[in-house]
Amino acid sequence: MEMIRNVVVGVSGGVDSAVTAFLLKNKGFNIIGIFMKNWDRREETGKCAFEKDYNDARWICDKLEISLIQIDFVKEYWNEVFSDVVEKYQNGYTPNPDILCNKNIKFDKFFHLARNRFQADAIATGHYAKTSFGPYLENYKANTNVRLLQAEDNNKDQTFFLSQVPQQTLRHCMFPLGNYLKSHVKMIATQAGLCQIARKRESMGICFVGKREFQDFISEYITDKPGDYIDLDSGLLIGRHNGIHKRTIGQGCKIAGCLKPYFVFSKDQKSNTITVVGGTTHPALYSDFLITREIHWINKEPHELKLNNGVLNCNFRFQHRNPLVPCKVYKVSSGRLFIRLDAPLRAITKGQYAILYSGEECLGSSMISYAGPSYFALRRQNCIDDTHYHNLKASVTR
């Protein structure tokens, strides 16, 4: 086993990264804290959230008696995360900036900077995840692939967001919080004298949006283009929207003059129309299969898919907090996947990621390129019988 001494820790100013740094120092590692500045904009109040977070990170590192260096990744974040997000919204996709940030910034730019400029043997972050190498790489083995495993705290598990991290990076990553519950992490922070950080409100949402409504934010980068709302069931025009980039599949939308709630079923780029359905459990919002782009396997491609007509039985999710759903995975051309779900899911959306699991292991992920057809469409085409259709309706309204 390689001797691991120098560890660069991403310190964000929150309790998770603070406890990560505390645990690593107690283990005797040589620690350098890095604060990553990924966005450069002041909110409407004139205050920059990053300044507050940096001051908290500085306070944490002073308290723990470790150095802190601020590194500017604003240009890289703009080019490799934000620009991609805007482009996908323009083209009718719903991207996941957190997965992109981990893939392109934290576990690429930050990782290589730590290894090259600071001669780090490993990097550490406050993500709730585990690997087969252990929280401190105590099980590290040269020439052996590492597996990404779900955290002890199911409610905080973040393997979903790490599902695009390359194998060579993951081999040098520490996740000290993987074996802890969030409540325990806060207790450790309090016992370490980091009470004000333990009480700090956890940041939620997308960092570059801040406290603004997303619809207001995205209009700063994509020109609003009004179009029609069309009711799927009646085919009638029932209202006007001010841009398909402001809506995502399954999202509720208030339509002037309509008393019942409507939800987005589809968006058409060419006609600039949004088709909506009445009710959040409308069968048109449910599908049980999808096609992805080329898959990123964290460890290696499962042997089941290397066989002729091979089928991989595993578990699937495309939203962070959704329960895992059993599925069957088939490989098609160019490394893409065809995924058949054992149960229909609501609002499967292109641009989101299909994350695959086997037991506690996160196998990898791939961007969804096609979802459907819906149960509503299948019934119209007589592909499913009335019993199957009504069973679906009953299951989603329980």
Residue 173 annotated to the active site: no
Annotated catalytic residue 207:
yes
Rounded to 10°, the helix 49-64/15-26 angle is 20
Helix (H) or strand (E) holding 357: strand 353-358
Nearest to 365 by CA among 321, 308, 314: 314
**Strand ordering across the sheet containing 227-231:** 237-241, 227-231, 273-278, 262-268, 252-253
CB atoms within 10 A of CB 22: 24
**Concatenated DSSP letters of 321-339:** TSPPEEEEEEE-GGG-EEE
Distances from the Cα of 30 to the Cαs of 36, 62, 296, in angstroms?
19, 15, 33
**Distance in angstroms (rounded) separating the CA atoms of residues 195 and 349:** 41
388 vs 380: CA distance, rounded Å: 13
Residues 235 and 27: their CA atoms lie apart, in Å, by: 65
Neighbour count for residue 215 (Cβ, 10 Å) = 13
Q: Give bridge partners of residue 171 from the DSSP assignment.
A: none
Cα separation, 32 vs 7, whole angstroms: 7
**Annotated catalytic residue: which of 61, 173, 207, 362?**
207
Please, which residues bridge with residue 162 across strands?
none
Strand, helix or coil for residue 340 = strand
Query: If residue 315 lies in a helix (H) or strand (E), which one and from where to where?
Result: strand 312-317
b/e burial code for range 326-357 (CB count within 10 A of at least 16 → b): ebebbbeeeebbebebeebbbbbbbbbbbbbb
Q: 281 and 261 in contact (C-beta within 8 Å)?
A: no
User: Which of the residues are catalytic?
Assistant: 101, 207
